[in-house]
Amino acid sequence: MAATASLKSSLLLPSPISDFSGAAVSVSAQKWRSWQPGGARVQVSAAADSKNILVMGGTRFIGVFLSRLLVKEGHQVTLFTRGKAPITQQLPGESDAEYAEFSSKIQHLKGDRMDFEFVKTSLAAKGYDVVYDINGREAVEVEPIIDALPNLEQYIYCSSAGVYLKSDLLPHCEADAVDPKSRHKGKLETESLLTARGVNWTSIRPVYIYGPLNYNPVEEWFFHRLKAGRPIPIPGAGNQITQLGHVKDLATAFNLVLGNPKASQQIFNISGAKYVTFDGLARACAKAGGFPEPELVHYNPKDFDFGKKKAFPFRDQHFFASIEKATRELGWTPEFDLVEGLTDSYNLDFGRGTFRKAADFTTDDMILGKKLATV
Instruction: Convert the pLDDT of each residue in 233-279 to its tens digit.
Output: 999 999 999 999 999 999 999 999 999 999 999 999 999 999 999 99
Helix 139-148 vs helix 116-126: crossing angle, to nearest 10: 40
CA distance from start to end of the chain: 31
Contact between residue 164 and residue 172 where contact means Cβ atoms under 8 Å apart = yes
Nearest to 213 by CA among 108, 64, 94, 72: 64
CB neighbours of 164 closer than 8 A, spacing ≥ 6? 172, 176, 177, 178, 179, 182, 321
Contact between residue 270 and residue 326 where contact means Cβ atoms under 8 Å apart = yes
Whole-number Å distance between alpha carbons of 220 and 216:
8
Contact between residue 207 and residue 320 where contact means Cβ atoms under 8 Å apart = yes
Tens of pLDDT along 124-136? Answer: 999 999 999 999 9
Determine the average pLDDT of the residues in 293-320.
96
> Does residue 201 surpass a pLDDT of 60?
yes
Query: pTM of this prediction?
Result: 0.88
Nearest to 147 by CA among 131, 134, 135, 161: 131
The CA-based angle 236-3-282, given to 5 degrees, is 40
Nearest to 340 by CA among 348, 328, 332: 348
Say what percent of the chain tops pLDDT 70. 86
Contact between residue 114 and residue 105 where contact means Cβ atoms under 8 Å apart = no
> Does residue 174 surpass a pLDDT of 90?
yes
Whole-number Å distance between alpha carbons of 296 and 287:
14
pLDDT of residue 372: 63
CB neighbours of 319 closer than 8 A, spacing ≥ 6? 161, 207, 240, 241, 242, 243
> Does residue 283 surpass a pLDDT of 60?
yes
Tens of pLDDT along 331-368? Answer: 999 999 999 999 999 999 999 999 999 999 999 999 99
- What order of strands is seen across the sheet that includes strand 241-242? 12-13, 275-277, 241-242
Whole-number Å distance between alpha carbons of 145 and 133:
10
Radius of gyration over alpha carbons of the chain, in Å? 21
